Amino acid sequence: MNAASRRRVDRSGPLAWMTKNTVAANILMWVCLIGGVFGFMNMTKEVFPEFELDLVTVSVAYPGASPEDVEQGIVLAVEEAISSIEGIVEVNSTANEGAASVVIEIDESEDAQAVYDRIKQEVDRITTFPGDAEVPNVSLTARKRGVVTLVVHGDTDELSLRNLAEEVRDGLLQNPGITQVDLTEIREQEIHVEVPEARLNAYGLTLQGIADNIRANVIEVSGGSISTQSGEILLRVSERRDFANEFAALPIVSPVSGTPLKLGDIATVRDGFQDIDKYATFNGKPSIEISVSRIGEQTPIGISEATQEALERIRPLMPEGIEISVVSDRSDTYKQRQELLAKNAVMGLILVMVLLTIFLDWKLAFWISMGIPTAFLGAMLILPLFGVTFNMISMFAFIIALGIVVDDAIVAGENIYEYRQQGMSMLDASIQGARDVAMPVTFSILTNIAAFAPLLFVPGFLGKIWGVIPLVVCTVFVVSLMEAIFILPAHLAHSKEAKGKFHNWQQKFSKGFSLFIERRYTPIVQKCVEYRYLSMGVGIALMVLVISWPVSGRMGFELFPQVEADQSEVRAQLPLGSTNEQVNLVRDRIVASALKTVEATGGEQQSTGIYASVNENNITVRTYLTPPDVRPVPTAEFTDQWRLDVGNIPGVETIRFAADSGGPGSGPAFTVQLSHRNVDTLRQASEALARELANYPMVSEIDDGFQNGKEQFSFTLKEEARRLGLSSNEIGRQVRAAFFGSEALRQQRGRNEVKVLVMRPETERSAQTDVRDLMIRTPQGSLVPLHSLVNFDDTRAVANITRRDGRRTISVTANVNPRNQAQQVQNATVQDLMPKLMADYPGLSYSFAGRQQDFSEALGGLGKGFMVALLMIYVLLAIPFKSYLQPFIVMLAIPFGIFGAIVGHLMMGYSISIVSMMGILALAGVVVNDSLVMVDHANEKVREGMSPYEAICTSGVRRFRPIMLTTISTFGGLAPMIFETSRQAKFMIPMAISLGYGILFATAITLLLVPCLYLMIDDLRRLMGTSPGLEPDEIDLTKLEETRTA
């Protein structure tokens, strides 16, 4: 009987009580398991986490106004009104033709609703908006959670197609599982009253007068009610008209005798649309896109099923030749990622169980593995209280926790197993084994939490997306600690001794493994500590060499790994003012190239359809592709072939191809925002920067951000006009009414707001001579041609005006291939290009926007989080060690964990991304766990009388198995994700690589260099006269071996 079997175990205290009371332990476990199932059933299911954008948008329509007029009349007024409001981080304004948009970013620490209320109050107080400007729309920017995208298409006219799309929307909304359906890429409905100039002159009418007449007579007015003997009677004036034929019957002139003159007698009245070029086709036929979104507790799968159910009822009602196609269903992505993560979770769980079964008793392995579902389901019982939903990010968080979560159970279970091997009873071994490691296990969990917690404070939208990971992981860790300390010992204390052939084989393997440790590891660690300074020097040299590789920029940095989408997209822009024929020629060429590329890459196996939309001078063409496991050619390769086939198109200002549209990290790889008070200087600087960027072979699809606007006639009044009593305002109003239209009224028709405009016929407002010869009515009633009243200045307006924090800006964008070299381009821009540019254009300033801005914000937040995590880990280690120096021994694993993460990225062919760095931050808390257990055991042996040399060598040998088990189980849990080939996992893999390979490489450091540093600190103490340590040649190695065996 050895010393351990004769040892008297204290059976008092909460840990011993729980170990003895299996009923309490089982109830606690079943609460976690059953409660977690109910918690999961009640969790909201979605693709991405729900979050606020912290943006307020002020939109003001100013129909017919140029960008300069919009800036002067709208943007400047809004910027000035909100300038004194606290809590605003940044203001970005855009003045387009006919509309202004001011996007206000709110400080994350502020109450977004309160700041929104203050902004709305200030905007509502503005009284200087132009008379023709519409009522401002102030809104907290919401992120629509689209699930299904439909296209209604067929050979029919726009009005008929619009009515059919409305019917489809109504049919979808009749399904109780659908609550939000929107038509996209559509023109607003209008009723046009077109009055020829000859009719106006014949009857002495004006466009404004007709509009006033319509406004005054097409109305519904409540007249109250009267009480009569037969009951109450409501009074109402009902002259409402909804459609063109009803407006045509409206009397305009009602003589005392004779027939009234109706609107239809002098004008062509028709139902139409907003006078802009905006339309779309699908597979060559006119189309309208319909988006079905989820809100509240609705799930992507539920919305998809409800949509399919509704379409089965709607499709038979469509006229012949009209089809409804589902072009995108995000629930498929959700299901694919859910299945992917579930598959990886099951594979990881099986792998962990197999590894534990090989190294430990199979019953012990089973109960340790039971800690995984207990911790996961227990966390699901708690997470809904924090508003966490079940989405692909939270699912990924569970996979991250899969291997790590059993670390504490492995340490506790292996220690119990060791005591049982030494002859202790089941109960005593469970109590003592758990009690020995309770402190280091608790502090290891706390260090894990300390490392993951800073991810909660990553700024910007990245923090909002990934902030769910620390919530999930930390909750799982807390539940797993409770399971390892209170539930696991109770199960092991009352389990029967395993028997049988497999048990005998496992025992032989265990003894063989112990022999391997004794014969292989022991001599190596002894040699390392004997030459500890050389060993440490070699380790540090390797670490510096590897870490210098990404620091030099050779690995490349990127925001997110590129994840190809299920669609390939082209966006092209022509000069403003291009004719509809010119735009259609470019669109047709891009579509023809898409069809050719589809045929060359698999036909129907490759694509499900081609959608093309035109919005003025902007063209978007999307080739919708079949699922990844069906299409023969990946999206990126398809997009490259499409790009080659399209080639250079004359007359196109910019064209950009994208294989990852809508995914994380999509958009231009490089964006520089220039700012200057002078617009001409700003334009010249942007063109110069674009020319310089073109010299870099990796840079393509460069857009200097400047676009010439439409040709513009500017009028200044002649003295003749003033002598006739005409003002600038009066002439402007008559010109506006003639060519843009005079708004009579707006009213709701069904779900749509319909505007009624009175204007001249298109034949009288389509030539420059129509402008010059426009007859202006004077206050005396005479008619004078416009060219006699004003001077014409033929200029060109700007396309749009962008402003940032009160200064005009312009953005130069480009793509970089490969994308991970965007940081290199940015560095070259800062060091070489911008100093010269700022010298050539005094007063010029710049900043990086888009992906570079997101990267910088996230990197800054992660850097601060990393420092906070290191400080918290140090404090959490110093407290149990009661030492200021020993935490540095344990924390030595952190830089070597980074070493492993970098090597892992090199081996797997991944660049360093923000996701990788999040994994490195989390790694800092995980890699110290093995060192913590080893150093804690060494300290215990020192307190029992061993020398530091004996203690650390004994600790390394004793803790070799749990350290290897925790490492292998952690890597094994992450391995299915690390080696996953599906595109659905690509943007999550870098974090798994950082954690998996970081822990793998840090283990070697823990087993070899931690003992070296432990003795180096002891050397320092001996020099200071505070440690009685012994040198290796003074140690009785026989005694050391006897101690290890005991």
Residues 889 and 1026 in one domain: yes
Mark 308-337 as b/e (b = at least 16 C-beta within 10 Å): eebbeebeeebeeebebbbbbbbbbbbebb
Helix (H, G, I), strand (E, B) or coil at 442: helix
Query: What is d(CA 907, CA 901) in angstroms, rounded to the nearest whole number?
Result: 10
**Of 31-40, 269-278, 943-952, 977-986, minimum mean pLDDT range:** 977-986
Instruction: Kindly indicate the confidence band of residue 371, based on its pLDDT and cuts at 50, 70 and 90.
Output: confident
Say if residues 174 and 317 touch (Cβ distance below 8 Å).
no
956, 1013 Cβ separation under 8 angstroms: no
533 and 390 assigned to the same domain = no
What average pLDDT score do residues 179-191 get? 87
User: In angstroms, rounded to a whole number, what is the distance separating the alpha carbons of residues 652 and 999?
Assistant: 52
The span from the CA of 41 to the CA of 381, in Å, is: 10
Residue 826 lies in a domain: no
User: Do residues 894 and 984 both lie within one domain?
Assistant: yes
Number of residues in the chain: 1046
Backbone angles phi, psi at 249, to 5 degrees: -85, 0
State phi, psi for 481 to the nearest 5 degrees.
-65, -45
What band does 192 get if pLDDT is binned at 50, 70 and 90? very high
pLDDT interval class at 288 (50, 70, 90): very high
Note whether 855 and 947 are same-domain residues.
yes
User: Domain boundary residue among 140, 172, 192?
Assistant: 140
What's the confidence (pLDDT) of residue 280? 92
Residue finishing a domain among 92, 117, 140: 140
**Between β-strands 268-273 and 567-573, what pairing exists: parallel, antiparallel or unpaired?**
unpaired
Question: Would you give the DSSP letter of residue 325?
Answer: E
Mean pLDDT of 785-803: 84
Closest CA to 877 of 955, 935, 959, 918: 935
Q: What are the residues whose beta carbons fall under 8 Å from the beta carbon of 205, sequence distance 6 or more? A: 195, 199, 252, 253, 266
- Note the pLDDT of residue 1027: 55
Helix axes 851-881, 928-943, angle to 10 degrees: 10
Domain CATH number, residue 982:
1.20.1640.10
Nearest to 401 by CA among 354, 366, 449: 449
Model pLDDT, residue 14? 84
Q: Establish if 233 belongs to a structural domain.
A: no
Of residues 595, 598, 590, 712, the one with CA closest to residue 651: 590
912 with 1012, same domain: the answer is yes
Distance in angstroms (rounded) separating the CA atoms of residues 487 and 482: 7
Q: Residue 283: how many CB atoms within 10 A of its CB?
A: 17
Q: Could you tell me if residue 292 is inside a domain?
A: no
CB 816 within 8 Å of CB 670? yes
591-629 pLDDT, tens digit each: 999 999 999 998 889 999 999 999 888 999 999 998 887
Q: Given the structure tokens 């401002």, which residue do they identify?
A: 136
CA distance 331 to 47: 8
Residue 1029 pLDDT level (bands cut at 50, 70, 90) = very low
Q: What is the CATH number of the domain that holds 115?
A: 3.30.70.1430
Q: Please, what is the end-to-end C-alpha distance for the chain in angstroms?
A: 11
Q: Are residues 524 and 577 in the same domain?
A: no
Closest CA to 959 of 441, 404, 364: 441
* 552 and 580 both lie in a single domain: no
Q: Residue 142's pLDDT is what?
A: 67
Token couple for 477: 């860790």
CA-to-CA separations, 783 to 207, 213, 720, 777, in angstroms, rounded: 14, 22, 13, 5
For 98-115, write each residue's pLDDT tens digit. 889 999 988 877 888 888
Residues 875 and 1004 in one domain: yes
**Predicted local confidence at residue 595, as pLDDT:** 93
Q: What is the pLDDT of residue 1041?
A: 44
What pLDDT, on a 0 to 100 scale, did the predictor assign at position 666?
63
pLDDT per position as a tens digit, 685-698: 888 888 888 888 88
pLDDT digits over 659-691, tens only? Answer: 877 655 566 778 888 888 887 888 888 888 888
**Judging by DSSP bridges, how do beta strands 137-140 and 670-675 pair with one another?**
unpaired
Q: What whole-number distance in Å separates Cα of residue 956 and Cα of residue 968?
A: 17
DSSP collapsed to 3 states, 449-469: HHHHHHHHHCCHHHHHHHCHH
Res 1010 pLDDT > 70: yes
Number of domain units in the chain:
4
Contact assessment for residue 795 and residue 714, using Cβ atoms and an 8 Å cutoff: yes
Pick 3 or 235 by higher pLDDT: 235
Residue with tokens 């977690």: 36
Instruction: Identify the helix (H) or strand (E) that includes residue 293.
Output: strand 285-293
pLDDT at 269: 92
Mean pLDDT of 905-917: 84
| Alpha helices, DSSP H, located in 360-425 | 362-369, 371-382, 392-404, 407-421
Q: Is 463 a member of any domain?
A: yes
Please state, in angstroms and as integers, the Cα–Cα distance from residue 414 to each residue in 157, 429, 585, 708, 882, following that order.
75, 11, 73, 73, 26
Asked if residue 509 lies in contact with residue 356, where contact means CB atoms within 8 angstroms, the answer is: no
Quick: pLDDT tens for 944-977. 888 888 888 888 888 787 788 778 878 877 887 7
C-alpha 608/C-alpha 638 separation (Å) is 14
Question: By the 8 A CB rule, do 953 and 522 touch?
Answer: yes
Structure token pair of residue 592: 């023809």
Cα separation, 891 vs 985, in Å, equals 31
| Residues 793-796: contacts with CB under 8 Å, at least 24 apart | 793/713, 793/714, 793/715, 793/716, 794/711, 794/712, 794/713, 795/711, 795/712, 795/713, 795/714, 796/708, 796/709, 796/710, 796/711, 796/712
Query: β-pairing, 912-913 with 557-558?
Result: parallel
Residue 1009 confidence (pLDDT) above 70: yes
Instruction: Please write the tens of the pLDDT for every residue from 450-467.
Output: 888 888 877 777 777 778
Q: How far apart are CA 449 and CA 928, in angstroms?
A: 12
Query: Does 913 lie in the same domain as 989?
Result: yes
- Does the residue 798 lie in any domain? no
- What is the Cα gyration radius of the chain? 37
Instruction: Give whichever of 57-61, 914-918, 1021-1025 has the largest mean pLDDT.
Output: 57-61
Structural domain ending residue among the three candidates 496, 529, 555: 496
Whether the predicted pLDDT of 4 surpasses 70: no
Q: What dihedral do alpha carbons 343, 348, 349, 351 form, nearest 10°? A: 120
Give me the pLDDT at residue 1036, please. Answer: 44
**Whether 538 and 585 share a structural domain:** no
Q: Rounded CA gap, 90 and 103, in Å?
A: 8
3-state secondary structure 234-251: EEEEECCCCCHHHHHCCE
Kindly state the greatest CA–CA separation across the chain: 131
Inform me whether the pLDDT recorded for 5 exceeds 60: no
Q: How far apart are CA 68 and CA 66, in angstroms?
A: 5
State whether 874 and 1019 are in the same domain.
yes
For the four alpha carbons of 373, 374, 379 and 381, in that order, the dihedral sign comes to positive
Higher pLDDT, 675 or 560: 675
Q: Kindly state whether residue 367 falls inside one of the protein's structural domains.
A: yes
pLDDT beyond 60 at 180: yes
Does the structure show a pLDDT above 90 at 1003? no
pLDDT reported for residue 7? 60
Please, which residues have CB within 8 angstroms of residue 770's CB and are 6 or more apart in sequence?
A: 739, 764
- DSSP letters of 129-172? S-TTPPPPEEEE-----EEEEEEEE-SS-HHHHHHHHHHHHHHH
Output the pLDDT for position 76.
Answer: 92
Task: Name the nearest CA neighbour of 251 among 265, 239, 263, 243.
Answer: 263
Tens of pLDDT along 742-766?
Answer: 888 888 888 788 899 999 998 888 8
In sequence order, what are the residues at sequence separation of 6 or more whose Cβ sits closer than 8 angstroms to the Cβ of residue 1015?
Answer: 529, 532, 948, 949, 952, 1029
Would 678 be classed as within a structural domain? no
145: left (phi over 0), alpha (psi -120 to 50) or beta: beta
Average pLDDT in the chain? 83
- My answer on whether 1027 and 980 are in the same domain is yes
Token code pair at residue 768: 């420059």
Q: Are 777 and 789 in contact (CB under 8 A)?
A: no
Q: State the pLDDT at residue 663.
A: 59
pLDDT of 1037 reads 40
- Would residue 264 count as lying in a domain? no
Whole-prediction pTM value? 0.77
pLDDT at 205: 87
**Mean pLDDT of the 502-527 span:** 79
SS3 745: strand
Structural domain harbouring 491: 1-42+360-496
